[in-house]
Amino acid sequence: MSPLAFLTRPERWLKAFHKHRGTIAAAPNFAYELCVRKIADADIDGVDLSSWRAALNGAEPVNPETLDRFAERLRRTASAAPPSFLCTASPKPLSP
């Protein structure tokens, strides 16, 4: 999926996961936040994410509240318990 396709309609990511029975996904924190903010309940009605086992979050600072909101959103609207999150925060820039 192209970054532009995801940014314009993030529900496509979850629908692709449903279609292909994905098990692991990796994304930066903003991707999970975008899903929480932009996806309407009707957009993922009937999406089955029960195959999803692990969600990796990294490449930028990880916000635990984002992960909580994303997990709660999946509990309410998708046919699945939320995946386990594996988080890695981006390293601090090196000072000269």
Q: Using one digit for the tens of pLDDT, what is the confidence trace for 66-89?
A: 888 988 888 877 666 667 766 655
pLDDT of residue 86: 61
- Beta-carbon contacts of 36 under 8 Å, excluding residues fewer than 6 positions away, are 66, 69, 70, 73
pLDDT at 64: 86
Which pLDDT score, from 0 to 100, does residue 82 have?
62
pLDDT at 91: 46
What amino acid occupies position 34? L
d(CA 48, CA 61) in angstroms, rounded, equals 29
Tokens representing 53 are 């086992």
pLDDT single digits (tens) 40-57: 989 988 888 888 888 888
Q: What pLDDT band is residue 92 in, cutting at 50, 70 and 90?
A: very low
